[in-house]
Amino acid sequence: MSRLTVLGGGSWGTALAMVLAPRYERVSLWTYEADLAKEMAAGRENKVFLPGFRLPPNIDVSSALEESLRGATMVLGVMPSTVLRQVYTDAKPFLPPAVPIVSATKGIERGTQKRMSEIIAEVTGRGRIAVLSGPSFAREVARGEPTLVVVASAEQALCEEIQRAFTGPTFRLYMSLDPVGAEVGAALKNVIAIAAGICHGLGLGSNAMAALITRGLAEITRLAVSMGAKPATLAGLAGLGDLILTCTGELSRNRRVGVELSKGKNLEEITGSMRMVAEGVENTYSAVELARRQGVAMPIAETLYAIFTEGKSPHDALRELMERPAGLEA
């Protein structure tokens, strides 16, 4: 029996379970919260994270890892980056042998500066790990709207296997052999999206937004290439595509953080009021740590870091960013 296990019952995990349900005989959706799992199993809806969408009948919901992973032929991880290491540590004893693991978690671990796939490999001791990324809001995927994403791995055969398994009428996968570029692009676009939210909240126009996205992409590309990524990856779905969506889309949680910062709210107040995780906050710290280690200039990320750690006002921080000496575009 083909069985997909989705680890993470937030909005994105639930949406992926729904769009992939027709591709599998059974789908196991694991969520950490036992009360939410019971509610979803009984009501067939994720009223907390993705209300308004009925779960297909072949989706089983559980908060027990052993039960959720039993018989899995594919594992798809969609948990927040801050808990990924612990979830895979707990899941390791129950992972079926040689099962492919697909990571849809977007982030870089603070302190170690490791990508999510590196952590999975370290914790589980497994190979056959791929990355899923690209411009994709959960609600639009759940509605069945056309969505194009990327599956990335250094193993082409694994990419092909996942592409065949996941591609459907409204969910199309392209392949990439550059997991570094896909993961760095996925993590850092959330950082730039917070800055985009600040620009929007301050009432700046399209000129400023276009410049921010372009220069943000330059920062992301510089860092990714310093880590061995291919520049072309950052110009594709996992880079520019995801960046545009997250910086401009009304459904973007990270953009919303920036909008609230522009109103003078502090970061703790903003994140404390959000049920879903805005990965860009944690990844701002990780990005600055990683950029400094790699010797790469990331002025937009550094500006956000100053807002987070020094209490600098978004208006003043943006002014200082604009007053930086301008050199060659690169």
Q: What is the pLDDT of residues 147-183, one digit of tens each?
A: 999 999 999 999 999 999 999 999 999 999 999 999 9
Per-residue confidence (pLDDT) for residue 304, from 0 to 100: 92
Per-residue confidence (pLDDT) for residue 239, from 0 to 100: 97
Segment 185-210, tens digit of pLDDT: 999 999 999 999 999 999 999 999 99
List of domains in the chain: 3-177 (3.40.50.720), 180-322 (1.10.1040.10)
Q: What is the mean pLDDT of the chain?
A: 94
Per-residue confidence (pLDDT) for residue 98, from 0 to 100: 92
Cβ neighbors of 327 (< 8 A, separation 6 or more) are none
Concatenated DSSP letters of 282-312: HHHHHHHHHHHHHT---HHHHHHHHHHHH--
| Pairwise CA distance, residues 58 & 21, whole Å | 7
Extract the tokens encoding 65.
């890892």
Segment 280-326, tens digit of pLDDT: 888 999 999 999 999 999 999 999 999 988 888 888 887 787 777 77
What backbone phi and psi angles, to 5 degrees, belong to 183? -75, -40
Give the three-state DSSP class for 82. Answer: helix
Segment 218-274, tens digit of pLDDT: 999 999 999 999 999 999 999 999 999 999 999 999 999 999 999 988 878 888 777
| Pairwise CA distance, residues 194 & 16, whole Å | 24
Per-residue confidence (pLDDT) for residue 4, from 0 to 100: 98
| Pairwise CA distance, residues 16 & 131, whole Å | 14
Q: What is the mean pLDDT of residues 83-105?
A: 97
Determine whether 189 is an active site residue: yes
Per-residue confidence (pLDDT) for residue 145, from 0 to 100: 97
Segment 1-21, tens digit of pLDDT: 899 999 999 999 999 999 999
Question: Is residue 328 predicted with pLDDT exceeding 70?
Answer: no
Which of 166, 165, 163 is CA-nearest to residue 153? 163
Extract the tokens encoding 268.
């703790």
The DSSP bridge partners found for residue 101 are: 75, 129
pTM above 0.85, yes or no: yes
The percentage of residues in the chain with a pLDDT greater than 90, rounded to a whole number, is: 84
Looking at 106, 189, 265, 312, which residue is catalytic?
A: 189
Segment 31-72, tens digit of pLDDT: 999 999 999 999 999 999 999 999 999 999 999 999 999 999
